Amino acid sequence: MNGAICIAAYNSYCFGISDFGWLQDEMSCLVGCSLLFTHTLLRWYQSVYINVFSSSCTVGLLDWLAPNLYTLLAGLTLVSDAPPLEGKGFGWFNTSTLSWRHAVGVALFTAVSIHDSKLQYQLAKLRKNRNGHVVSEDHKMPKGGMFDIVSSPQFLHEIVLHASIGLTLGFTHQDWWLCTGYITISQIVRGLGRQEWYRKKYEDLPAGRKALNGLSGQVNQEIKWTERASEPRKCVSQ
């Protein structure tokens, strides 16, 4: 879906093909669509060729439906504030409309994508031997790199990747920033849940390791404090 939207945008803005009718600024839409399509392809490649999933792991219907539905609607959200696909056609790239936002957004997206790919390989190696063969499906605590600081850097990467796309689109693209807000909240919730699971499963979890960052770690502490405060007090007879 994201690929079809990306192709439609290029055909209209660059080559003057106006048979799409429904599809901010054209260059921002092109850069944003390109980054989102690239991100979708990377996630597909990682899921098929890198990640090692447990055969005993089961996923609920809502857990499966939510990310797939989001992936389907993300591209439509991106072009919701874009100019109509009227087929004006300005060639491959109209460099006069490039801005610092595009350069910074693409650079940030590229850097985080490269680091995230290395991280996915690092996670996959926990279940593979030196020859690259899967030898275990057990859960192991990752160590080294960003894992020495946060428990779920992959969730933090997802937030930054969406923010980098938003940067290329501009701060007035309200729909995409609402989408980024949804991703931020969902990834923080997942990170806190993963952190709590690590604490229960691994006694040697470093005390200073946060869920996503210092903020989410503080949120986790506040949640625990609230839960303790809400527990009924036991009366002790003298």
Q: What average pLDDT does the chain have?
A: 76
235 lies in some domain: no
130 lies in some domain: yes
- pLDDT tens, position by position, 182-235: 899 989 988 888 888 888 888 877 777 787 664 444 444 443 433 333 343 333
> DSSP letters of 105-171?
HHHHHHHHHHHHHHHHHHHHHTTB-TTS-B---------SGGGGTBS-HHHHHHHHHHHHHHHHH-T
134 lies in some domain: yes
The whole-angstrom separation of Cα 159 and Cα 108 is 12
Three-state DSSP state, 86: coil
What per-residue confidence (pLDDT) applies to 108? 97
Which residue ranges in the chain fall short of pLDDT 50? 1, 19-23, 214-238
237 lies in some domain: no
What per-residue confidence (pLDDT) applies to 37? 92
pTM: 0.76
211 lies in some domain: yes
26 lies in some domain: yes
In Å, what is the CA distance from 200 to each residue of 29, 196, 213? 45, 6, 19
Q: How many domains does the chain have?
A: 1
137 lies in some domain: yes
Helix, strand counts (H, E) of the chain:
7, 0
Domain that holds residue 138: 2-230
238 lies in some domain: no
